[in-house]
């Protein structure tokens, strides 16, 4: 989400950000939240800082000190880190189970959205799709290249 976009409800009505107003803000601590945009935003909206993870930037990072302790179930259960080398298997299984029509709709949806993003994000995302399936990546790449990005309106009187 860019700083120009505003969160809306299902009817398209902008959602207020009144939790950032001083009277509603936490006073005993600093809120470190990824929430952005919306009406009543007066505090700079975190600038251009990313509000998602993982990212190539330092923020946000998972606060491992806030992890819940393990608890007994049938043996011991605990939260564990993901295997950093395996992010594609589950996506590949999902993609393979889709029918041809479902794959077409998926490609159309991803291509339309990703086509509106900047080139760097498109390249990185398509490389992630390539780890899942070469055909998926090629089809998304084609769909992205067919998207017409909106042009800014010319200035009045220009």
pTM over 0.75, yes/no:
no
d(CA 146, CA 75): 53
- Provide the CA 91 distance to its chain's centre, in angstroms: 16
**pLDDT, block means (10 residues), the chain with 158 residues:** 55 67 73 64 69 68 78 79 78 95 97 92 94 96 92 73
What is residue 73's predicted lDDT score, i.e. its pLDDT?
Answer: 82
What is residue 138's predicted lDDT score, i.e. its pLDDT?
Answer: 98
Give me the long-range contacts of 7-10 (CB less than 8 A, separation at least 24). 7/36, 7/37, 7/38
d(CA 22, CA 34): 18
Q: In the chain, what are the domain boundaries?
A: 1-61, 89-145
What is residue 26's DSSP assignment?
-
């Amino acid at each position: 989400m860019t700083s120009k976009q505003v969160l809306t409800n299902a009817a398209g009505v902008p959602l207020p950000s009144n939790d950032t107003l001083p009277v509603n803000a936490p006073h005993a601590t600093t809120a470190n939240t990824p929430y952005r945009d919306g009406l009543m935003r007066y505090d700079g909206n975190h600038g251009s800082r990313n509000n998602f993870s993982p990212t190539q930037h330092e923020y946000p990072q998972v606060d491992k000190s806030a992890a819940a302790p393990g608890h007994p179930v049938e043996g011991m259960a605990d939260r564990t880190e993901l295997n950093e080398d395996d992010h594609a298997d589950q996506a590949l299984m999902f993609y393979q189970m889709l029918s041809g029509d479902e794959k077409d709709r998926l490609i159309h949806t991803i291509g339309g959205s990703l086509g509106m993003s900047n080139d760097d994000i498109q390249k990185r995302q398509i490389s992630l799709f390539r780890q899942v399936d070469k055909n998926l990546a090629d089809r998304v790449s084609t769909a992205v290249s067919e998207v017409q990005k909106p042009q800014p309106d010319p200035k009045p009187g220009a």
